[in-house]
Structure 1
Amino acid sequence: MNTMITETELVAIRAWSEKRFIYLELTDGRVFGFPADRFRILCQASDDQLKEVRVEVDGHALRWEELDEDLTVAGVVAGRFQLPLPRQVA
């Protein structure tokens, strides 16, 4: 018997920012969050600038117009970040 597994397409229907985290609501009902500080441009942005995130390209991209920054939904969900996790101070 042949079984074909199809991967759900990662499409965002909504995005928002809280406390330097960016959150996405995906079409399959999941909510995904990631730290803004894992990206070069976003880590330098103010909280107000981070809140200006928009979902674009039919839900496949995130856009911050003022920052001229674009991220793919599939990339952030897959964990393709630009910067390492900050070191914890003991």
Structure 2
Amino acid sequence: MVDLSDAAFAAAEERGRIAMLTEPRAKTARYDERLDRIVVELVNGCTFLFPPRLVQGLGSASVADIAEVDTGAFGFGLHWEKQDVDVSVAGLMAGRFGTARYMAERFGPAWDAVAAE
């Protein structure tokens, strides 16, 4: 059962307010073909780059499809419509480019231990 009380609603609003202020969020994202990197400008003024082919679901995507990256309304994640790929900005910055299984298969068994934490 979902708690729809005023207190639960107020607590959810507060969690959202805190997330907007503290969690990494993308202001913009674009593909730089020369660097072969997704360039994410964060709302705090920092910039984060990563190779798109590390992301689960983008390995065989065309350059044109990779370039169609979207930050969404609040910038908590990146989205590629044609590939149906969604990743969180915080996850990317922590080095998570897909599911725990994908990470273990792609980057080795050490990721099994990380996923268990």
Task: Give the TM interval when normalised to the shorter protein.
Answer: 0.7 to 0.9
Is 1:51 equivalent to 2:62 in the alignment? no
TM-score, normalising length: structure 1: 0.78
Specify which structure has the bigger relative contact order, considering alpha-carbon pairs within 8 angstroms and separated by 6 or more residues.
Answer: 1
Residue of 22, 37, 42 corresponding to 2:53: 37
Q: What is the RMSD of the two structures over their aligned residues, measured on CA atoms?
A: 1.6
Is 1:74 equivalent to 2:90 in the alignment? yes
How far apart are residue 23 of structure 1 and its match? Answer: 1.2
Aligned-partner SS, 2:86: strand
Aligned-partner SS, 1:43: coil
Residue of 22, 28, 48 corresponding to 1:14: 28
Whose helix fraction is larger, Structure 1's or Structure 2's?
A: 2
Aligned-partner SS, 2:49: strand
Q: Aligned AA for 1:44?
A: S
Unaligned runs of 5+ in 1: 1-6, 85-90
TM-score, normalising length: structure 2: 0.61
Distance 1:72 1:57 in 2: 13
How far apart are residue 37 of structure 1 and its match? Answer: 1.5
Per-residue deviation, residues 16-67 of structure 1 (Å, max 9, x unmatched)? 0113311100011111001112123111101000000000141101011111
Aligned-partner SS, 1:56: coil
Work out which of the two has the higher radius of gyration on C-alpha atoms and give 1 or 2. Answer: 2
